Amino acid sequence: MKKSLLFALLLLLPLTSAIEFNINSEYSQGGAILTTISGNFQETLTEENILFYRGHVRAPFNYELKKIKDIYYLYVNLLDKSPNNYSIVLEEIEYLQGNKILNENIQRNFSITNATVDFTINSGAIITEDDFSITIQNLQDKKISVASDYIISTTTDLYSGEIKTLDFEIVEAIPSEIQTLKLSSSTTTYEIPIYVLEKPRGQTPVKFEFDISSLNVSLDLNKNTTRTIYVKNTGEETIFQVKLSLDDELERYAQLSKYELFNLSSDFLYPVELTIVSGDLPDKILENLTAFSAGVEIILPINLTIFPGIVEEVTTEKSCSEIGGATCSANACDGIIEIVEGKNCCLGLCEEETSEGGTSFKLIGWILLVVLILVGILFYFKKFRGAKAPAKGAAKLLAKMKKE
């Protein structure tokens, strides 16, 4: 009996431990999910593999996924999410269970209650080679105190609704080891993994740049737009991490799809989406998007103008030739057609147009040519044959005159 029970447990063990992904069954409003995902995935797990549902309907969430060694760290912000039943689903993944490769979805369910956390945080696991910061906000209607414990311990007071940025130094941190930053109030606690990278000695300075020198955007009131900006590694070595930030004034209107980029290989263009919402008041600002890595900092000036009336957006969209395309008619493009500057841009080869209309015109031309040739031949024979008859009559008249 005991042997049978042990054998059954051994059979069930792979089913329960193939993928380790655990979350709480309940969370308070405004909080955050901080969890890990591990397993023998056949391909790297990405944020595109993670979907969220409210009941059976897809729901948008602010989240990020980072990998430290062989473990994935998932952060999900629950701010502005109403009480309801939700689920996190890992989709389109392949992983090993024993000696079998499975491609089944993995789902974890949770609910958001009517309670509200004391404070919220803006980040999950942090991978850094420099000093870092965490932003917190008091969600209560009273003053709270938040204790932070990372290398040294401090306490921060926040009034109702107040937002503060907590700065942390890594001077005494242990490189290449995961340490924990603990943030806590009387009823709310977060434990954030911190992984400090070890800086190699004699490392070649990193080289990277934005794909454009500046960005100009004009919007009407209460409108939004999205621009894609590329960060390019122009050096020869892979850049492990690039941090992005917006100036305070610009951050009132804009947000980035990513604030950290990882593993930029040489000549690689990393896309970052900048979403801008104009608001309900006219404004004009010139602020910067900043990228920072290994002591190197670059900036992208962003000129944002918000008009009270309807305006045509001013962009720095690349031309057809700049994206490797050519302008030709849609019927003659052997490839993908993109709309650039209001015109068709062919990203393939431009071939000679052979439409039915062109063939018809050629046929009519040939017919007209044949008709003209026939008319010319008839005219020739009519003219010269008519001339021969009078010549013969004149010869006979001349002979008759000689006889007389």
Looking at residue 203, its pLDDT comes to 60
pLDDT tens column, 27-84: 999 999 999 999 999 888 989 999 999 999 999 999 999 999 889 999 999 999 999 9
Residue 325 is assigned to a structural domain of this protein: yes
When pLDDT is averaged across residues 324-337 and rounded to a whole number, the result is 68
The CA–CA distances, whole Å, from 146 to 87, 139, 309, 361 equal 30, 12, 45, 82
Domain boundary among 199, 223, 247: 199
Report the number of distinct structural domains present in the chain. Answer: 4
Query: Which residues, other chains included, contact 306 with Cβ-Cβ below 8 Å and sequence gap of 6+?
Result: 218, 219, 220, 221, 253, 278, 279, 281, 282, 283, 284
Residue 368 is assigned to a structural domain of this protein: no
| In a shared domain, residues 45 and 82 | yes
Looking at residue 113, its pLDDT comes to 96
| In a shared domain, residues 328 and 311 | no
Residue 253 is assigned to a structural domain of this protein: yes
Looking at residue 273, its pLDDT comes to 92
Proportion of the chain above pLDDT 90, given as a percent: 42
| In a shared domain, residues 223 and 280 | yes
| In a shared domain, residues 162 and 96 | no
Q: What is the pTM of this model?
A: 0.56
Q: Which domain holds residue 225?
A: 208-316
User: What is the distance between the alpha carbons of residues 151 and 178, in angstroms, rounded to a whole number?
Assistant: 13
Looking at residue 77, its pLDDT comes to 95
Work out the pLDDT band at 371, boundaries 50, 70, 90. confident
Residue 8 is assigned to a structural domain of this protein: no
Residue 390 is assigned to a structural domain of this protein: no
Looking at residue 198, its pLDDT comes to 78
Among 15-24, 29-38, 285-294, the minimum mean pLDDT is found in 15-24
Domain boundary among 142, 176, 199: 199
Residue 393 is assigned to a structural domain of this protein: no
Closest CA to 289 of 309, 303, 277: 303
Are residues 33 and 117 in contact, defined by beta-carbon separation less than 8 angstroms? no
| In a shared domain, residues 212 and 309 | yes
pLDDT tens column, 103-139: 889 999 999 999 999 999 999 999 988 889 999 999 9
Q: Of the ranges 4-8, 14-18, 94-98, which is most confident?
A: 94-98
3-state secondary structure of 236: coil
Closest CA to 270 of 279, 282, 281, 258: 258
| In a shared domain, residues 171 and 227 | no
Domain boundary among 142, 169, 199: 199
